[in-house]
Amino acid sequence: MRSWPADRIAFGGDYNPEQWPRATWREDIELMRRARVSFVTLGVFSWSWLEPAKGEYDFGWLDEVMDLLHEAGIAVDLATATATPPPWLSAAYPEILPVDRDGHTLWPGSRQAWCPSSPVYREHALALTTALAERYHEHPALAMWHVSNEYACHNLPCYCDTCAAAFRRWLRARYDGLEALNDAWGTAFWSQRYTDWDQVLPPRRTTTFANPTHQLDYARFGSDTLLDFYRAEKAVLTERSPGVPVTTNFMTLAHFDLLDYHQWAPEQDVVSTDHYVVNTLEHPAAELAFSGDLTRGLAAGQPWMLMEHSTSAVNWQPVNPAKAPGQTLRDSLAHVARGADTVGYFQWRQSRAGSEKFHSALVPHAGPDSARFREVCRLGEVLERLGELRGSTVEADVAILWDYQAGWAASGPAMPSSALEYPAVAHTVHRLLRDRGVVADVVHPSADLTAYRVVVVPTLYLVTDEHAAAIEAAAEAGAQVLVTFFSGISDEHDHVRLGGYPGAFRDLLGVRVEEFFPLMPGETVTLGSGSGRLWSEDLTAAGAEVLDRYAAGPLRGRPCTTRRAVGRGAAWYLSTLPDDATFDALLGQVLDAGGVTPAAEVVPGVEAVRRRSGHGSWLFLANHTDQPQSVTASGHDLVTDRPVDGVRLEPGAVAVVREG
Ligand code: GAL
Ligand code: ZN
């Protein structure tokens, strides 16, 4: 066993040598050295090669690869290979196959075709994990264990009978009897009252809207079930391979919300995640930054690992654009800016066959004599220089609250507006802050909020009493708390808090809402300054100062934005989604009130983030505009390896300035 590369930002990616002849392995190692790769993730999809028949292991090839990597000084993040079963397993035990909402079996032939509740699958997976841990614990290349891969990516939710039984067990543990479940699920509605546990099913395809709390509990059950699976694999590793850190790669990227990572994160020895740029988003670079800040929040502010991203195109979007020259470096450093100390890719060598043959890699189809591989080598060089900032943390005075469970509830059936997507407001706030050079931690409501100058609570639809109290306490203690519409509406069972919205925050904010007035797609409402879209509501301010009002439509003259002094801080409320300029002006007021300053004075489109440690501080700058930009900063730029006094950034360029 060896330790994780500590002298540099670790650099590497998924390595799938079983797709290549032995001669290529030698070339791989040679090229890895050239690119200064310091780690690989090995064996993610290797089960059918490691265990070609039940209980018969073939470790010879893996021994060879591990030895080669060790000789080259490359650390191995060894997968438990349990992400995808071999065909013999699904053929012998077809009951492990997942079932979709309509009752259709998802057949083998792709990947991750296993039911999260299947005891048969778990037994076989744990046997393989045990065999790998025993064989490789002593291997000098082993530096980390990589459990499974992207849990839930394709096999959650599963609606099979095994899951139905497991769900009932989970519910019995959660609720003190069937009547408690009936209360929590509100089954007085539509004659849904259960009189026997066996009547309870997964939320399979229904005639019309399903019970929202039933669905919410099924989402919780799914996340818990896979977390339990992860814990079981981890327990094997901790016992048989003590001292080697264990992680599993999260997916903190746009549109993925199947697991409550705030419950998963404390079980990781180091938090790791995957991120891919989604080209159909309106602001892909802003989403990348949000993902980094969310991952850092999961890691409780500590450095984290970017396990996978791509050097260029992916293969799973409708159109898969290549990255422009310079973007590979810029995207990678954007993750490092936000706290990544490891930069990994999917994958080392672009496949010749299979459904990912058109997904980019560190070594493209064109081979090492290519612009892409040259950029990869340059990245390797830069990441080596960045070694000095390893372990440093990111400076942030603002918290944006994020709760997967609130998101699940907010996207339940039959809501006031299906145009309101849970991430929308959080992403907008984060993007506008980023345009000002202000960095935010994206954290769970249970995080310690006391150190933040500003706390933003975007569409926190479902909130527990405890979390609502913590938010209030943050304002009392001095934070500027900005709550947006559709927050604090329901409790943990998704029962509406009565007496006027937003029930959980009415007193804190000094406002009361009697009715929502969601806006039609494309509709806007005129405000005193600017306009709002998506949402409006009839707000009464009782004890809060009115900052802006609706200026037209049915709510004409009613308050739209308010502020109330609370303890040593204040509570602000925003009841619509304003246009960017209006929203930005409000954020400016909130930041000023909190005394928040940017990492650097920048124009929108220039990203600025600062990492700091006991040894110094490093200012990350990236120019996302199409014009050259100048930023006042001086020190030594680790990207160009030159001293700087005033930074000039060409379009697309990035700098990491060691300050002082
Ligand atoms: C991830 C996965 C990798 C690869 C990659 C392609 O979801 O973990 O194995 O498929 O996506 O973008
Ligand atoms: Zn199942």
**Test site for ligand 1: of 311, 347, 356, most ligand atoms within 8 A of the Cβ:** 356
Q: Identify which of 27, 57, 56, 23 has the alpha carbon closest to the alpha carbon of residue 43.
A: 57
Neighbours of 99 (CB within 10 A): 20
Distance between CA atoms of residues 144 and 127, nearest Å: 19
Of the listed ligands, the closest to the CA of 311 is 1
Of the listed ligands, the closest to the CA of 359 is 1
Q: How confident is the model at residue 2 (pLDDT cuts 50, 70, 90)?
A: confident
Distance between CA atoms of residues 235 and 508, nearest Å: 44
Q: Which atom of ligand 1 is found nearest the CA of 314?
A: 12
| Cα 153 to middle of ligand 1, angstroms | 9
Q: Which atom of ligand 1 is found nearest the CA of 316?
A: 12
Task: Give the neighbor-by-neighbor strand order of the sheet with 654-659.
Answer: 393-394, 606-613, 616-623, 654-659, 629-637, 642-649
Region 548-554 average pLDDT: 97
- Residue 419, Cα to own-chain centre: how many angstroms? 22
pLDDT value, residue 107: 98
Q: How confident is the model at residue 6 (pLDDT cuts 50, 70, 90)?
A: confident
Q: Which atom of ligand 1 is found nearest the CA of 44?
A: 9
Distance between CA atoms of residues 31 and 373, nearest Å: 10
| Cα 150 to middle of ligand 1, angstroms | 8
Q: Could you read off the pLDDT of 146-167 as tens digits, one per residue? A: 999 999 999 999 999 999 999 9
User: SS3 sequence, 58-93?
Assistant: CCHHHHHHHHHHHHCCCEEEEECCCCCCCHHHHHHC
| Cα 274 to middle of ligand 1, angstroms | 8
Q: Whose C-alpha lies nearest to ligand 1, atom 5? A: 346
| Cα 121 to middle of ligand 1, angstroms | 22
- In the chain, the percentage of residues whose pLDDT exceeds 90 is 98
Q: Whose C-alpha lies nearest to ligand 1, atom 7? A: 150
> How many residues would you count in the chain?
660
pLDDT value, residue 345: 98
Q: DSSP per residue over 428-447, as a string?
A: HHHHHHHHTT--EEEE-TTS
| Cα 118 to middle of ligand 2, angstroms | 7
**Test site for ligand 1: of 150, 278, 307, 320, most ligand atoms within 8 A of the Cβ:** 150
Q: At what angle do helices 371-385 and 327-337 cross, to 10 degrees?
A: 30
User: Residue 79's beta-bridge partner residues?
Assistant: 146
**Sign of the dihedral through C-alpha 413, 417, 421, 425:** negative
| Cα 167 to middle of ligand 2, angstroms | 10
Q: Whose C-alpha lies nearest to ligand 1, atom 4? A: 346
- In the chain, the percentage of residues whose pLDDT exceeds 70 is 100
Query: What is the four-CA torsion angle of 237, 296, 262, 78, rounded to 10 degrees?
Result: -20
Whether residue 255 is predicted with pLDDT greater than 90 in this model: the reply is no
Of the listed ligands, the closest to the CA of 317 is 1
Region 87-91 average pLDDT: 98
Q: Please, where are the H alpha helices in 319-388?
A: 327-337, 371-385
Q: Which atom of ligand 1 is found nearest the CA of 249?
A: 8
Contact 632, 608 (CB under 8 A): no
Least confident of 4-8, 446-450, 451-455, 582-586: 4-8
- Token couple for 322: 């290549």
Positions marked catalytic: 150, 308
**Test site for ligand 1: of 154, 248, 253, 274, most ligand atoms within 8 A of the Cβ:** 274
In the chain, the amino acid numbered 152 is A
Residues with CB under 6 A from ligand 1: 149-150, 153, 274, 276, 308, 314, 346, 356, 359
Of the listed ligands, the closest to the CA of 106 is 2
- Token couple for 195: 């009189």
pLDDT value, residue 524: 98
Q: Which atom of ligand 1 is found nearest the CA of 276?
A: 12
Q: Mean pLDDT score of the chain, rounded to an integer? A: 97
| Cα 105 to middle of ligand 2, angstroms | 10
Q: Which atom of ligand 1 is found nearest the CA of 45?
A: 9
Task: Give the neighbor-by-neighbor strand order of the sheet with 340-345.
Answer: 246-247, 142-146, 75-79, 39-42, 10-15, 340-345, 304-308, 272-274, 249-250
Whether residue 404 is predicted with pLDDT greater than 80 in this model: the reply is yes
Q: Identify which of 545, 578, 536 has the alpha carbon closest to the alpha carbon of residue 563.
A: 545
Neighbours of 114 (CB within 10 A): 28
Q: Could you read off the pLDDT of 344-397 as tens digits, one per residue? A: 999 999 999 999 999 999 999 999 999 999 999 999 999 999 999 999 999 999
